[in-house]
A = this chain, B = another copy of it.
Amino acid sequence: MSDIINIGLLGLGTVGRGVWQLVSRDSEIIANRLGARLKIKKILVRDPSKERGMDIPADILTADARDILDDDDIRIVAEVIGGTDIARLLVDKALAAGKSVVTANKELMADYGQEVLTAAEQNGVDLMFEASVGAGIPIIHPLKESLVGNRIQRVMGIVNGTTNFILSKMDAGQGYAEALAEAQALGYAERDPANDIEGKDAAAKIAILASIAFNSRVRAADVFTEGIAGITPLDIMYARELGYAVKLLAVAKCDAPTGRVEPELDVRVHPAMIPLSHPLAAVKDAYNAIFVEGDAVGELMFFGQGAGSLPTASAVVADLFMAADNLSKSIRGRLGCTCFNSWAIKPIDQVESSFYLLIEATDKPGVLAKIAKVFGDQEVSLSSVIQKRTHEGIAEVVFMTQKVKEGNLRAALAKLAALDIIAGVRNAIRVEGGQE
């Protein structure tokens, strides 16, 4: 029980402080299970002299990465800096130095997952990244291990807490700017919330999940991404009337997980209308949830806090425990790169979805017929048309379409926009979560 496994911590921001807190409380559970104690020996920070308001011995803080990378007593490195510049460099060096690496870095794993996993394999060490998606929600390990008997058909999730918080508040009647300000005040959204709002954070996460689910590499840049800035309270109100909630959804589907020589992947992030009866519709505020569909297991959902200091640290510490356990058994773990497929990603205009459309048109007889003709010409079938408010001769009309190729829908909307009877195509929101 007196054995110690030394850890080097790279970064002492929100997540790093949580990791320090959990590791330094010296868990009897970990000690009993591991037969050893985890200990943070050194922490890399920019300025060791900075006042942190935490009980951390001054001599374990360093601004020199070599104090960690060159220390053979440090067998595991936890990277919680984020980004793909310095973090990537340090992870590469740690792996090359024969240290196992635990990371919470979604950008790193989404953009360079293959490279760092391969480097880990070549150096005979572990690279674990449970914390990179959904914070403490166990999802990477379950997808990689617990569902190995399945062919995964779909992964679909609310993986960004900031946008879910904003959309939840808008659903409760707040305006977009007000909801964003509250998210910032509560610390959910950064001062520059662009990464969240534009869907880039979610794109990195679904790239990671899709790569695991389909054993085929998907990078963040491969993911079609549309943010939530275009969603109005009117859309949310009409969605609710029609029995839907509006969520920023990350979607990954495989059109033929087996049976075809070359399946295509469909991976995207965008606002979506989800039936209120779907479990994802009930995921409120800053919570995350990931819905997985496998051909044996059916539908699964994993729900929890998707961000925050201790929830993220919970996943980092579990990975540290597993990496330490592997070290003590002298094995590498099971989480190497599993992308043995190289499947194409479907261009967005080839993806089929149902759509909610909000269109403003002149309120005159024959107008609906003209609109319907444009849709018909582009093979867009409508499932319902509801005329809403009319003011100053302009009617708001909500259309719900059948499944249609996005390219056809875009062509129809472009033609409509050119008609003088159309005051504007106000929004087009994909519908997800129905029966496939």
Contact = CB atoms under 8 A, between A and B. Distances in A.
A136 B298 contact: yes
B297 A304 contact: yes
A340 B325 CA distance: 18
B314 A304 contact: no
A297 B136 contact: yes
Contact of A318 (B32, B149, B317): B149
Interface stretch (A140-148, A164-172, A244-252, A420-428): A140-148
A149 B304 contact: no
Contacts of A315: 146, 297
Given A136-B296, A298-B136, A303 B331 contact: no
A334 B333 CA distance: 12
Number of copies: 2
Interface string A122-147: 00000000100001111001100111
Interface stretch (A22-30, A62-70, A86-94): A22-30
Contacts of A313: 149, 296
A263 interface: no
Interface string A289-305: 00000111111111111
Interface residues of A, number: 53
Given A303-B303, A331-B331, A138 B148 contact: no
Interface in A302-323: 302-305, 308, 310-311, 313-318, 321-322
Question: Which of A136, A295, A305, A321 counts the most chain B CB atoms within 10 A?
Answer: A136
A244 to B, nearest CB: 16
A347 interface: no
A279 B294 contact: no
A195 B393 CA distance: 66
A25 to B, nearest CB: 9
A227 interface: no
A29 B148 contact: yes
A329 B126 CA distance: 14
B311 A305 contact: no
B30 A149 contact: yes
A75 B164 CA distance: 48
28 contacts: A22-B149, A27-B151, A29-B338, A30-B148, A33-B338, A130-B146, A136-B146, A136-B147, A136-B296, A137-B297, A141-B141, A141-B142, A141-B145, A146-B315, A148-B317, A149-B314, A279-B282, A297-B305, A297-B311, A298-B304, A298-B308, A298-B310, A299-B305, A300-B302, A301-B302, A301-B303, A303-B303, A329-B331
